[in-house]
Structure 1
Amino acid sequence: MRILITGGAGYIGTILVPMLLERGHHVTVLDTFKSGGPDLSSACQYDTFEPIKGDARDTRILDDLIPKHDVLIPLAALVGAPLCKEDAIGATTLNRDAVIALVQRAGGEQRIVYPTTNSGYGVGEAGKFCTEESPLRPISLYGTTKVEAETAVLDSGRGVSLRLATVFGMAPRMRLDLLVNDFTHRAVTDRALLVFEGHFKRNYIHIRDVAKGFIHAIDNYDRMRGEAYNLGLSSANLSKLELCARIKAHVPNFVYVEAPIGEDPDKRDYIVSNAKLEATGWFPDFDLDRGIKELIKGFRMIRNSRFANV
């Protein structure tokens, strides 16, 4: 199939694009390629790979590209509550408006597979799993824009929405701000961590299982279309302190302490059921411990000390 991915040179895209190419698909990536790095260099060996430099909000580019593709995957976004708070205009125009523009230009038998965030659930009820029928109560601009975009995708009748848990794992375009990645990086490099509001819970998922979820949605589009699906590890609905304990099992000299005062600006607190997606035949390959071990190996090689002299 011919697949268009906006923002395909980001954290998820640098894993997903090569996997799609290996399966024989033709993949066009529309991205600003802001990092200027060789993050998709492994894709360049394929004749079926086409990188295009541009902005996903540029409707002239969308008018040209969308009719040429069978599957549309809008990955382009400002991701995370802090970044969206910092750039509210960018968050609104890219996370919501660009997706609506893409949906409006889709037609015929085109398929849309959209990644949103299960942070749309906001603060869940204690001890109660959030399902796809649970009310969406986002508590950040990031969550709000993603929920609004998801509504447009599902209302179009041609979309599948994947509500992603907090993603972790190594990728060519790495992110260190995601919770498992961040905590593991601190364990490996600093050996210590101060945890705020350690009882807050959320769900997690490995980046390669996210990519596997996109492929699953494409392959099973006819029976999944028009629906939202939580995409996470059913074995990993954990609090921050529980996550730290799992990391410590692999980094024994890691010390973590919960702060007696202070708040985490990200107030998400919920547990999630992934049973609906699992019922369609999707299952994860990476559990949390396998992912932590992978990250430990990666962080032995990665240095995040651009302005340090040691």
Structure 2
Amino acid sequence: MGYNILVTGGAGYIGSILVPELLKSGHNVTVLDNFVFGQNSLIECCIYENFNVVKGDARDEDILKPLLQKPDYIIPLAALVGAPLCSRDKIGTVTTIRDAAASLVKLASKEQKIIIPTTNSGYGIGQKGVYCTEETPLKPISLYGKAKVEAEKIALDRGNAMSFRLATVFGMSPRMRIDLLVNDFTYRAVKDRFVVIFEGHFKRNYVHIRDVARAFIHAIDNFNIMKNEPYNVGLSDANLSKLELCIKIKEQVPDFVYLESPVGEDPDKRDYIVSNEKIEKTGFKPIYSLEMGIKELIKGYRIITNSKYGNV
């Protein structure tokens, strides 16, 4: 059965992979996006009768109201993402993430279901050797993390919703983000052959972008048994430090050199390991490994350069 689905920010990094998969699954998809990066990442979707696209701002309630007449599911992807971009536009970060979520909750009917992506960077700095679960207190450090945590609370407090606390996403997308950690380090390995690392012992979890899309489809198929809960979404065998990530990349780019700087610091201070057991118990398992993603990125970087692909 096909559902009516509204995806805000659907032409972004995740949406450009998710929307085609939703269409292939037979759903009717409307995308609201301001196309601020000049991307044409949904061109391939225009052939689908069940695809509609609206150019506009996800914060504009006059645009949202008519788009909220039909959807069974709402997926708010619209966001400013990445520490440099969020630092440059603090007001835009909060209004696009938290305030836009509040508008959706206010305008949507109680019967409409919301699947909201947040971030496991909300865990901030974890305890060494202790896995962060969905019960772990949220202590976000970055403005982005704080806004996402607030948006998650707004959605879950409303009910008939669920949230995905996404690990650091990697992999190729038509609306590429080279500035994400795995994507960035692999790009530097391919193009520059070296990288200087700040605070290389900091750990985080990772997940392939196509597994993120699969998680959303899994949530739609299993909403009634999963609703009103947050779920970590990541690779359980990929809780890695930056240095460990570089080792993985060097396995596929042998002449890659990485050095840890004794001075300097990373503006993104997150450091934690994450358990993904909760969503795995619902029957969802990632199928794209970190190694597969690095291999994919190496091929992709033979095609593109960093002249336009990034939020930095």
Q: TM-score, normalised by structure 1?
A: 0.97
* Whole-angstrom distance in 2 between the partners of 1:188 and 1:157: 45
SS of the counterpart of 1:148?
helix
SS of the counterpart of 1:209?
helix
Q: Residue in 2 aligned with 1:139?
A: 141
What is the alpha-carbon root mean square deviation over aligned residues?
A: 0.9
Task: Give per-residue Cα distances to partners, 1:210-269, cap 9 Å, x unaligned.
Answer: 000011111110011100000000010000000000000000000001001111111000
Partner amino acid, structure 1, of 2:254: P
SS of the counterpart of 1:96?
helix
After TM superposition, what 4+ stretches of structure 1 lie above 3 angstroms from structure 2? none
* Whole-angstrom distance in 1 between the partners of 2:208 and 2:71: 28
* Whole-angstrom distance in 2 between the partners of 1:89 and 1:37: 23
SS of the counterpart of 1:79?
coil
Alignment of 1:208-219 (within 5 A): 208-219=210-221
* Whole-angstrom distance in 2 between the partners of 1:108 and 1:116: 21
Partner amino acid, structure 2, of 1:45: I
* Whole-angstrom distance in 1 between the partners of 2:306 and 2:264: 26
One of 209, 217, 227 as aligned partner of 2:229: 227
Q: How many residues align?
A: 306
Cα separation, partners in 2 of 1:262 and 1:19, compared to 1, 3 Å: same
One of 187, 199, 207 as aligned partner of 1:185: 187
Partner amino acid, structure 2, of 1:273: S
Partner amino acid, structure 2, of 1:293: K
Q: Residue in 2 aligned with 1:36?
A: 38
Q: Residue in 1 aligned with 2:23?
A: 21
Q: Residue in 2 aligned with 1:270?
A: 272
One of 99, 102, 105 as aligned partner of 1:103: 105
1:154 aligns with 2:156: yes
Q: Residue in 2 aligned with 1:120?
A: 122
Alignment of 1:268-307 (within 5 A): 268-305=270-307
One of 249, 252, 260 as aligned partner of 2:251: 249
* Whole-angstrom distance in 2 between the partners of 1:185 and 1:17: 26
Deviation at 1:280, TM superposition (A): 0.2
Residues 110, 160 of structure 2: 8 Å contact kept: no
Partner amino acid, structure 2, of 1:61: I
SS of the counterpart of 1:44?
helix
Residue identity over aligned pairs, in percent, reads 65
SS of the counterpart of 2:68?
helix
Q: Residue in 2 aligned with 1:47?
A: 49
Deviation at 1:117, TM superposition (A): 0.4
Partner amino acid, structure 2, of 1:153: A
Deviation at 1:303, TM superposition (A): 1.7
Deviation at 1:109, TM superposition (A): 2.1
Task: Give per-residue Cα distances to partners, 1:171-225, cap 9 Å, x unaligned.
Answer: 0000011000000000000000101100000000000000000111111100111
Residues 183, 193 of structure 1: 8 Å contact kept: yes
Deviates more, 1:61-70 or 1:221-230: 61-70
* Whole-angstrom distance in 1 between the partners of 2:153 and 2:83: 19
Residues 230, 273 of structure 1: 8 Å contact kept: yes
One of 261, 271, 276 as aligned partner of 1:259: 261
Q: Residue in 2 aligned with 1:67?
A: 69
* Whole-angstrom distance in 1 between the partners of 2:83 and 2:97: 12
1:129 aligns with 2:131: yes
* Whole-angstrom distance in 2 between the partners of 1:172 and 1:19: 13
Deviation at 1:38, TM superposition (A): 2.1
Q: TM-score, normalised by structure 2?
A: 0.97
Deviates more, 1:229-238 or 1:86-95: 86-95
Residues 81, 143 of structure 1: 8 Å contact kept: no
Deviation at 1:305, TM superposition (A): 4.5
Partner amino acid, structure 1, of 2:20: P
* Whole-angstrom distance in 2 between the partners of 1:147 and 1:81: 16
* Whole-angstrom distance in 2 between the partners of 1:45 and 1:13: 17
* Whole-angstrom distance in 1 between the partners of 2:91 and 2:206: 28
Q: Residue in 2 aligned with 1:168?
A: 170
Deviation at 1:158, TM superposition (A): 1.1
1:207 aligns with 2:192: no
Partner amino acid, structure 2, of 1:118: N
* Whole-angstrom distance in 1 between the partners of 2:117 and 2:103: 16
Deviation at 1:292, TM superposition (A): 0.3
Q: Which runs of 5+ in 1 are unaligned?
A: none
